[in-house]
Amino acid sequence: MSFGSRARAAMSAYGPACVGIDPHASLLEEWGLPDDVEGLDRFASICVEAFAGHVGFVKPQSAFFERFGARGVVVLERTIQDLRHTGSLVVLDVKRGDIGSTAAAYADAYLDDDAPMAADAITVSPYLGFGSLQPFFDVADKNDAGVFVLALTSNPEGPEVQHARNGDVTVAGGILAQLAALNADAQPMGAFGAVVGATIGEAAEDLAINGPLLVPGFGAQGGTVDDIRRLFGAVIDNVIPSTSRGVLSAGPDVGALRDSVARVNAQLVGS
């Protein structure tokens, strides 16, 4: 099945929520865990137990594993492998972006199904030019994986690049239009999605890309169900709202974590 088909099935089976696995030092402390690789390993294991096969999408943030060096990357690799093929789709948040053979190597590392750290989808940055992402799209297509391209991010610095105009369209609008072209005629939706923050306020750009829309900033970061309804309107069925601290603050109890996700999904489905 294509990533678009698998994403639609996951949303139908579990709800649209994506839970981030973001082992901040402060969150490890909240869970009573040491800020070291042993604490990281325990944190990740609890998240796998809580979310695997219970949540449609899980999004490990690579940076919070990488900060522990090689041993942290080992924990990330094992976390991805433990989550995959349980019904949950792994969106690895790595925001990679490069050119030529380097981009191809990143694509092979994260999207080739035979790679040790292969995920169902990854996040990428298009700001070396949209065409620089072609190796990611090619490897994803070959392996029925997905790619989420940063388009309208919620960080305050984003608009200086994303809202800049390239002729008659904004930079973000051009990215979204090219994603729509890649996803044209895909059923039930394409494999190439966009990252659009829940806290951006307004979006003048056309979000109808016939692909999944990964929406960070929902929950503890301030984004609400009303924001999602207002921003995404007719394409709300393609929205995958992402929340981290809002769910993870219920840990380390596995049952409480699952209940927290269930409440989030109930909110979203009710929207």
Q: Are 48 and 82 in contact (CB under 8 A)?
A: yes
Omega of the bond leading into 252 within 30 degrees of 0 (cis): yes
The span from the first CA to the last CA of the chain, in angstroms, equals 28
- 207: Cβ–Cβ under 8 A, 6 or more apart, which residues? 176, 194, 196, 213, 231, 232, 235
Among 24, 78, 84, 95, the active-site one is 95
Distance of CA 91 to the CA centre of its chain: 5
Q: Are 84 and 120 in contact (CB under 8 A)?
A: yes
Q: Give the residue from 67, 56, 55 showing the smallest Cα distance to 23.
A: 67
Active site residue 95: yes
Q: What sign for the dihedral angle of Cα 40, 86, 109, 148? A: negative
Could you say which DSSP state residue 134 is in?
A: H
- 156: Cβ–Cβ under 8 A, 6 or more apart, which residues? none
Q: Give the residue from 212, 264, 269 showing the smallest Cα distance to 7.
A: 212
Active site residues: 95
